[in-house]
Amino acid sequence: MSPETLIPKLGVVTDIRIDTPDVKTFRVVGLDGKKVFEHMPGQCAMLSIPGVGEAMFSITSSPTNTEFMEFSIKKCGCLTNWLHAMDVGQQITIRGPYGNSFPVEGALKGQDLLFVAGGIGLAPLRSVINYVRDNRQNYGKIQIVYGSRSKDDLVDYKEILDEWMADDGIEVNLTIDQPQEGWDGHVGFVPNYVKELEPDLNKTVLMCGPPIMIKFTLAGLKELGFKETQVYTTMELRMKCGVGKCGRCNIGSKYVCKDGPVFRFDELDELPNEY
């Protein structure tokens, strides 16, 4: 029998970290204790609990992590509710990696990078950020603009404070939607904050967040003088097979699971606005 991508492999959850009230980060390894497969930043995997469901999640750990994979998952449906309720030691099924990746070994090399994220949108970018940090010599300046509803909703807050902010040459700009006790940082929405920060026009932008944030941030970036060819995002659509066959994530002549999830905005312009 030839190998079949629809038949998953087994993984085991070795650590569960509570990030925010509705986001947890799950650490997964194979039953042999090693990584189940290798991936590139931006790629996804299908996780499932048989009988509960199977869904596509972006791999939030960097490929430079040689020990395990991590998935930051927001509680928002049947499967994710189940995942949030499980304990360490639970086995899950995993298949992948699926989709393309951010061009970390291509167009992004040597560039100054601006990461823009909102809420759980930091999850897919975390993989890139840590990949870039671990290959620091290959990239220019790094700026991260990250916003969430409140301080408690900032995903990976500890990692941001302890590691990213501690790095030389990384500028981290955090913001929350509403003023909050114990928060002396910036308050306001991400799109406005990006405009206020007036990032250098030579930066390549990697953006992920809720559709409304993406829409207004892109408009703001364009006002500042950024071109669509400078801005990458990663998309989310309903997926079942992960390999461009089941038809669910088809937009125009592209399949988001196979041809995406990473797109440059000028590529999206050629697709019907159906996402």
Partner 1 sequence: MLKLSLDRLNDLFAAVAADQVLYIPADDASGQARFQRWHDGLEMTGALNTVRSAKDFFFPQTENLVDFKLKGKEIEIIDPRTEHEDFVIFGVRACDARSFTILDKVFLVDPVDSYYQSRREHGTVVTMACTQPEETCFCTAFGIDAAAPEGDCSCWMDDTSLYLQPQTDKGQRLVDHLGDLLQTCDDSAVAAQQQSTRAVLEKLPFANLSLDGFDGEHLLELFDSEKWAELSEACLGCGTCTFVCPTCQCYDIKDFDTGSGIQRFRCWDSCMYSDFTKMAHGNPRLTQLERFRQRFMHKLVYFPANNEGEYGCVGCGRCLSKCPISMNIVKVAKSLGGENL
**Residue 130 Cβ vs partner 1, minimum distance, rounded to whole Å:** 25
Q: Binding residue per annotation — 76?
A: no
Nearer to partner 1, 19 or 131 (CB): 19
Q: Binding residue per annotation — 257?
A: yes
**Residue 56 Cβ vs partner 1, minimum distance, rounded to whole Å:** 10
C-beta neighbour count of 220 within 10 angstroms: 18
Q: Binding residue per annotation — 246?
A: yes
Nearer to partner 1, 174 or 257 (CB): 257
Whole-angstrom Cα distance, residue 140 to residue 275? 32
Nearer to partner 1, 4 or 184 (CB): 4
Q: Is 265 in a helix, a strand, or coil?
A: helix
- CB 235, CB 175: distance < 8 Å: no
147 alpha carbon, distance to own chain's centre: 14
38: closest CA among 94, 106, 91, 93?
94
15: closest CA among 23, 4, 31, 26?
26
**Residue 14 Cβ vs partner 1, minimum distance, rounded to whole Å:** 12
Residues near 229 by beta carbon (within 8 Å), at least 6 away in sequence: 264, 265, 266
Per residue, what are the HEC states of 49-105? Answer: ECCCEEEEEECCCCCCCCCCEEEEEECCCHHHHHHHHCCCCCEEEEEEEECCCCCCC
Nearer to partner 1, 47 or 142 (CB): 47
**Residue 88 Cβ vs partner 1, minimum distance, rounded to whole Å:** 9
**Residue 140 Cβ vs partner 1, minimum distance, rounded to whole Å:** 34
**Residue 61 Cβ vs partner 1, minimum distance, rounded to whole Å:** 22
Rounded alpha-carbon distances, angstroms, from residue 185 to 37, 117, 198, 235, 267: 39, 16, 18, 29, 35
Binding site residues, partner 1, CB under 8 A? 1-10, 50-54, 76-77, 80, 87, 89-93, 236-238, 240-241, 243, 245-248, 250, 252-253, 270, 272, 274-275
Nearer to partner 1, 218 or 249 (CB): 249
Q: Binding residue per annotation — 249?
A: yes
Nearer to partner 1, 224 or 243 (CB): 243
Annotated binding site for [2Fe-2S] cluster: 241, 246, 249, 257
Annotated binding site: 241, 246, 249, 257
